[in-house]
Structure 1
Amino acid sequence: MEQKRNNDTPKDQKQRFPSGGFNYSWIYLLFFGFLLAFSFFSSPISGAKEVSWTFLQDSLLTQNKISKIIVVNREFAEIYLKKSTDDAQNSEDTATNLFSTIESPQYRMTIGSIENFESKLEKAQSNFLPSEKIDIRYQNRTNWFTALSWILPIAILILFWLYMFKRMGNGGGMGGSMMNIGKSTAKLVDKGTTSAVTFDDVAGLKEAKTEVMEVVDFLKHPETYTKLGAKIPKGVMLVGPPGTGKTLIAKAVAGEAQVPFFTMSGSEFVEMFVGVGASRVRDLFKRAKEKTPSIVFIDEIDAIGRSRGKGNSFQTNDERESTLNQLLTELDGFGPNTGVIVLAATNRPDILDKALLRPGRFDRHIYLELPTKEEREEIFKVHLKPLKLAKDVDVTALAKLSPGFSGADIANICNEAALIAARKKKDLVHFRDFMAARDRIVGGMERKSKIISQKEKETVAHHEAGHAVVSWYLKNVDSLVKVSIIPRGKSLGAAWYLPEERQIVTKSQFMDQMCASLGGRAAEEIVFNEISSGALDDLEKTTKQAYAMVSYYGLNKKVGPLSFYDSSGQNDRIIGKPYSESMAQLIDTQVQATINGAYERTKALLQEHREELEELAQHLLQHEVAEKEDLERILGKRGTHTTEKNNKHDDPQLSIINNEV
């Protein structure tokens, strides 16, 4: 038994300790229960009957039944009867209580004043013999019940605050003791603690893992680098879109580094009290230096690292700015910071202060991009491990059909596919479950119960058929996969594409993409000779693309190779536009000409393929969905119908940007 006790870990001992301890709350409860019981049972007047002076004079004094009278606290009189009287023998109040041997009074009377009561009593006993006169005594008593009526609420408040301070002191409740509000709330993953996440769980991101693993290797084997005169990087900034794995890499570092790892969110530094943020920064680095070598991870650092001076011109004192100043001092100030590496993550690097990003503070900037097809395949393999898959699930096809998806999106697809399969009472997850999950995540849940009139349904069918026909016959539009008029989310229909993964877009690709967006509105005008509000989203996207093409990318000949895009964000503080009124008028004119030219080209293409447009619309009205096989049957193999007649509409002056704008 002794050997077993010595082998127990501190964690096990800590978990068993409360079970053998004593809960002091019971002492408080027993104490107050005793006071209440003592107050109730020790009161000798609890059963006395209230009487008036008339009853005292006519029924008690005249019949000589009173043994004695005790005046208590000059407020009321206790009347005791003689034991030989019938009233005393029949009364239940003559018994003594549990805490006192004093006989209880039978009657009680409130007196106005001592002098008046004594004068009345003296007149009433004027004919009595001296031996028959009633003995009057005076007493001062403490009524515990009355005292407790104001002591008990105060005591309850004191106990409540003692309990709250104890909870806060143990790290519960509001997050820390009031005396420790300036202390850091960072969570510590100490050396030797096993983590569930390692670099093996981080799929893709090969370059990012290589740089982060070098930092971990430096902490494990510093002599390999220091013998050549190298210095450890002070900070590593992880930058990337949401869901690309920034926090996951930090968790992997905590599992692989085998050094103390402090993790904290940027918003935890800022409090409602002035100076708390800076104090927590100091305390965080103090704790990290005590456990050097160590790693500090600050997630969402843009909460405190926003550029100073932006939007703060009307604020006299900014707590966030004070916190940032203290962080800059700790990263690269006069004090030593040896052996402490700071990891930070953000998806908004454009708003961070330049002083925070300079070398010497955050020496390395690691950019995490959206995964490529090969990286998505690796991510799928990680998230498919816990699922029971059918044989028809093709990981390569899943990666190909999910372009632009982040790691978090892929994890959501896998989980949603399993939920869909379980909802249908399946034993395995099939490939079509993943496709249904992708459609639900991208477009929203199907709303088959949504009632649409026949006229609206025809409009939606021709609208989506217009998108499909235009994108099918334009070679630079992404591959069309499916067309549906089943309502999903806020949309009444959708055309599903398989985007190509490309880094740059040519003018002809810009033009074809804009025509495909305008295909729905053009189809409504051609078929019904009337347009509807269903093309709002298409027009919004097209207008933004055209303005970006003219004013940002310099793709218009009349405006010229000019760009008014501000990547630094400094123009946000400027009221107005960074160009003249004449330039603004020219930009508006060229944008309008670009969109109108693309619209006329789209109408001409649909007029040429009017029969295919009608056939596809009728198919959608009957089946609601047109798969790729149906599209090839109606429109033919894609790429075989591109003619010179279609190509003559390509105007080199008409070009748009890609769909990401």
Structure 2
Amino acid sequence: MSQDKKDTKKNAPFKFNSYWIYVPIIIFLLSLSLFNSGSLGTKRISKNEFFKVLKDNEVSKIVVENNSLAQIYLKEEALKKADYQKQTESVLYKSEAPFFEYNFGDLQNFENEIAKIKTESNLDFDKENIERTSMIDTIIGFLPFILLIGIWLFFMRRMSGGAGGAGGGGQIFNIGKSKAKLFDKDTKVKTTFENVAGLEGAKEEVQEIVDFLKNPGKYTALGGKIPKGALLVGPPGTGKTLLAKAVAGEADVPFFSLSGSDFVEMFVGVGASRVRDLFKQAQQKSPSIIFIDEIDAIGRARGKNSMTGGNDERENTLNQLLTEMDGFGTDTNVIVLAATNRADVLDSALMRAGRFDRQIYVDLPNINEREEIFKVHIKPLKLADDVNVKFLAQQTPGFSGADIANMCNEAALIAARNSKKAIHHQDFLDAVDRIVGGLEKKNKVITPKEKNVIAFHEAGHATVSWMLEHAAPLVKVTIVPRGQSLGAAWYLPAERMIVQTEQMLDEMCATMAGRAAEKIMFNKISTGALSDLEKVTKQARAMVTVYGLNDEVGNVTYYDSSGNDGFVKPYSEATAKKIDEEISKIIEGQYIRAIEILSLHKDKLTILADKLLEKEVIFKDDLEKIFGKRPFDKEETETNNQLPKEEKELLD
């Protein structure tokens, strides 16, 4: 810690917390309860002990307090006995205080017994009755209730935001207020549509929403009505929240931002109250925009998974949201934006026209959009001259905008780790390997026999994918362990809008080629094909049950886009048996096909595996030297020419 920070911490004023006031009060009350009896040495005794002390003529006085408790005072000569003296020395005791206390039952019986003993034994003690009432006893009696009330107030203040919150947020009555964060002219958002690369269709939709608020007369002059809501739907990381930030930066109107979970609270009715307060604030500042991120937290379909059968706070919140969205007039100029990646679970009443009039699908970026996203994220980076952004866009199919941002950051970290002055193209490729395959395990111990099996497994994938027309062309094969995998092959799949049966079968055949190569070369198979089997099983099941690409099952699909088929199979047991048979038939057929292809090219498979064992990493040029150029795709030559210098140098 620097000296400035130390001085700041030292000179910082002490902040008084209102809870500290309870500490001295509690200590005072506890002290009163402890010392109220006048001595810490007073001992409670039983009936037999009391009458023994009484008969031994050691009692000087008996004081009956409030007709229920006898306080026993001992004579001075009795206190000098060894047993009593030891007791007085071990505890704090006052000589004028009672030495014993005896809690008798009935007062009349007690007085008769001590009077009888006094007469029979000729005892000389005094007796008196007193009534003792004090404010201290009253306070001590109420002490448990005071403590319970104090604890309850403490937790209520904590749950409602604590003392000193905005607008008196420490009060329990503010718990139903909206937690939305307001962005207006005082808190301007700097994100604009220029910061959003790709997503051209989605940007046009949200730009029109901004135009609705800036120039409403342009649309209402023709009798049109301003839309009430727009729902951003898409996979995670595609830029839904980024689009909302751009709207906040461009609209120049008050922008209320919050998450769906902000409505959820343990108290009944709080969610609905926060919805009412949110829309009330938005109408007061209209024209305005409300953005609800992850709306599926409160917008799930009603009546499902209700196990308790009682009051459902989430459903009450959704009902209030539905009422508010369809309740205010069009002249208020309040538009609701929402985002979710689970549109299939949303309530149909929320999705209907009049509430969310527009559903904007934010999909994964295509190759051109990925190139634009790369250009945005590499602006702050210090790049070398060999960085090929177009090739990086080709090398990252299926990456979302968040994945690309992570890849650029990972490339910068890799370059810094290697003490480079700039980020090279190879650093980006290493970042792809790191994200897709996992961290390289340099210390993983692999025996030569296992390494040989892994090499032929990966060479089998590469060989069959090279020989099949619809399989994805190979980019790189490695037997360097990464993450949980012992080897990996990188391909450049074509970004198709639709997939035909032949294309799926070729991909499955290339996937099964790893196990087929093990069978051909060693006449044994291993557990290394687990991920391959999982992939082809999913593909085969989708062909049969989802896409209707199987002749035996026919042109039917058992896929339910609403997600309501979780507990019920939409087919009979006979159909289930047929589905299992067809899935197995498809997978085994492609496995046999892969064995046949590899058997025809066994010598080239061996050459490729030996080269892989030698270099550990091989590229597309190696396969061209062994197998020749692929005749199926003319674009491969262009893709090959875009390989970076570092990869071509590795080939030599």
**TM-score of Structure 1 vs Structure 2, range by shorter chain:** 0.7 to 0.9
Alignment pair present for 1:603 and 2:595:
yes
Once the two structures are TM-superposed, the CA of residue 264 in structure 1 deviates from its matched residue by 3.2
| Aligned position for 1:5 | none
Q: Residue deviations 1:23-70, cap 9 Å, x none?
A: 433433333444455667786545789999999999999xxxx9x997
Alignment pair present for 1:296 and 2:285:
no
Once the two structures are TM-superposed, the CA of residue 447 in structure 1 deviates from its matched residue by 3.2
Q: 1:165 is matched by which residue type in structure 2?
A: M
Structure having the higher Rg = 1
Q: 1:76 to 1:401 in 2, by over 3 A?
A: same
Pairing partner for 1:168 from 159, 179, 185: 159
| Aligned position for 1:340 | 334
Q: 2:611 is matched by which residue type in structure 1?
A: H
Pairing partner for 1:619 from 611, 614, 636: 611
Alignment pair present for 1:534 and 2:523:
no
Aligned partner of residue 397 in structure 1, secondary structure:
helix
Once the two structures are TM-superposed, the CA of residue 157 in structure 1 deviates from its matched residue by 2.6
| Aligned position for 2:373 | 379
Once the two structures are TM-superposed, the CA of residue 495 in structure 1 deviates from its matched residue by 1.0
Once the two structures are TM-superposed, the CA of residue 634 in structure 1 deviates from its matched residue by 3.8
Aligned partner of residue 22 in structure 2, secondary structure:
helix
- Once the two structures are overlaid, the 10-residue window that deviates more, 617-626 or 444-453, is 444-453
Q: Residue deviations 1:216-253, cap 9 Å, x none?
A: 23223333433343321111111111110111111222
Q: 1:572 is matched by which residue type in structure 2?
A: D
Q: 1:494 to 1:31 in 2, by over 3 A?
A: same
Are the aligned partners of 2:192 and 2:247 in contact in 1 as well (CA < 8 Å)?
Answer: yes
| Aligned position for 1:222 | 216
Q: 2:96 is matched by which residue type in structure 1?
A: P
Unaligned 5+ segments in structure 2 are 1-11, 86-93, 105-109, 635-652
Q: 1:621 to 1:146 in 2, by over 3 A?
A: farther
Alignment pair present for 1:515 and 2:505:
no
Aligned partner of residue 332 in structure 2, secondary structure:
coil
Are the aligned partners of 1:80 and 1:106 in contact in 2 as well (CA < 8 Å)?
Answer: no
- Once the two structures are overlaid, the 10-residue window that deviates more, 376-385 or 326-335, is 326-335
In structure 1, distance between residues paired with 2:543 and 2:97: 103
Once the two structures are TM-superposed, the CA of residue 517 in structure 1 deviates from its matched residue by 1.7
In structure 2, distance between residues paired with 1:69 and 1:558: 104
Once the two structures are TM-superposed, the CA of residue 406 in structure 1 deviates from its matched residue by 0.1
Once the two structures are TM-superposed, the CA of residue 401 in structure 1 deviates from its matched residue by 1.8
- Once the two structures are overlaid, the 10-residue window that deviates more, 142-151 or 452-461, is 142-151
- Once the two structures are overlaid, the 10-residue window that deviates more, 438-447 or 353-362, is 353-362
In structure 2, distance between residues paired with 1:171 and 1:109: 49
Q: Residue deviations 1:287-308, cap 9 Å, x none?
A: 3323322212222223443445
In structure 2, distance between residues paired with 1:46 and 1:143: 19
In structure 1, distance between residues paired with 2:440 and 2:629: 29
Q: 1:491 to 1:45 in 2, by over 3 A?
A: closer
| Aligned position for 2:90 | none
Unaligned 5+ segments in structure 1 are 1-17, 92-102, 127-132, 643-661
TM-score by length of 1: 0.74
Q: 1:145 to 1:627 in 2, by over 3 A?
A: farther
Are the aligned partners of 1:292 and 1:340 in contact in 2 as well (CA < 8 Å)?
Answer: yes
In structure 2, distance between residues paired with 1:212 and 1:548: 35
Once the two structures are TM-superposed, the CA of residue 493 in structure 1 deviates from its matched residue by 1.8
Are the aligned partners of 1:289 and 1:337 in contact in 2 as well (CA < 8 Å)?
Answer: no
Q: 2:245 is matched by which residue type in structure 1?
A: K
Once the two structures are TM-superposed, the CA of residue 635 in structure 1 deviates from its matched residue by 3.8
Pairing partner for 1:458 from 452, 459, 477: 452
| Aligned position for 1:76 | 71
Are the aligned partners of 2:225 and 2:330 in contact in 1 as well (CA < 8 Å)?
Answer: no
Are the aligned partners of 1:265 and 1:299 in contact in 2 as well (CA < 8 Å)?
Answer: yes
| Aligned position for 1:305 | 299
Aligned partner of residue 238 in structure 1, secondary structure:
strand
In structure 1, distance between residues paired with 2:610 and 2:20: 79
Are the aligned partners of 2:191 and 2:249 in contact in 1 as well (CA < 8 Å)?
Answer: yes
| Aligned position for 2:646 | none
Q: 2:557 is matched by which residue type in structure 1?
A: F
In structure 2, distance between residues paired with 1:583 and 1:160: 60
Aligned partner of residue 565 in structure 2, secondary structure:
helix
In structure 2, distance between residues paired with 1:462 and 1:530: 12
Aligned partner of residue 518 in structure 1, secondary structure:
helix
Aligned partner of residue 377 in structure 1, secondary structure:
helix
- Once the two structures are overlaid, the 10-residue window that deviates more, 109-118 or 284-293, is 109-118
Pairing partner for 1:564 from 557, 561, 568: 557
Are the aligned partners of 1:45 and 1:104 in contact in 2 as well (CA < 8 Å)?
Answer: no
Pairing partner for 1:432 from 407, 426, 431: 426
Alignment pair present for 1:417 and 2:411:
yes
State the aligned residue count. Answer: 595
Aligned partner of residue 356 in structure 2, secondary structure:
coil
Are the aligned partners of 1:552 and 1:565 in contact in 2 as well (CA < 8 Å)?
Answer: yes
TM-score by length of 2: 0.75
| Aligned position for 2:182 | 188
